[in-house]
């Protein structure tokens, strides 16, 4: 069953300007070390960050909270499987919220998809509860 869905659209140029203006302060506040390493080795650094920004926003919406109620940016992290498929990992308050949403006898699966077409980056997150 679907227990949450969220989507977000981010402007890559806005993220690039924020990176230029705030640099590491912005990176370290919003993105995990894994996300930063991924973005910094890509040709489109700002686009990579923008997709992850959108994924975090979409995940917070799928959790039914938006970025409030104690969810921190770094409580949600995008990484990639060896195939390149993005996955969302949650910790802290985001994990607690996910556990609270998941019905007894089920496990939560977070699906995430990312795309971009300059100047836009988009992410969709779907949270599924599967019987154990």
Residue reference for tokens 């998809």: 113
Contacts of 117 (CB under 8 A, 6+ apart): none
**Is 128 annotated as contributing to ligand binding?**
no
The token duo for 15 is 């993220």
The token duo for 99 is 């556990």
Which 3 state secondary structure label does DSSP give 7?
strand
Residue reference for tokens 């990992």: 89
Is 90 in contact with 98 (CB distance < 8 Å)? yes
- Among 130, 128, 65, 58, smallest CA distance to 94 is for 65
Mutual angle of helices 33-40 and 45-62, in 10-degree steps: 150
**Is 8 annotated as contributing to ligand binding?**
yes
Instruction: State the binding site for Mg(2+).
Output: 8, 57
Instruction: State the binding site.
Output: 8, 57
């Amino acid at each position: 069953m679907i227990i949450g869905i969220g989507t977000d659209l981010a402007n890559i140029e806005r993220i690039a300007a924020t990176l230029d203006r705030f640099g590491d302060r912005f990176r370290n506040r919003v993105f995990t070390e894994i996300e930063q390493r991924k973005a910094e080795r890509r040709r489109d650094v700002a686009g990579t960050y923008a997709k992850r920004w959108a994924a975090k926003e979409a995940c917070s919406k799928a959790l039914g909270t938006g970025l409030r109620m104690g969810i921190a940016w770094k409580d949600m992290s995008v990484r990639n499987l060896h195939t390149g498929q993005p996955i969302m990992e949650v910790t802290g308050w985001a994990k607690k919220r996910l556990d609270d949403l998941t019905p007894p006898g089920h496990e939560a699966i977070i699906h995430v998809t990312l795309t971009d077409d300059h100047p836009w980056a988009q992410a969709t997150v779907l949270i599924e509860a599967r019987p154990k």
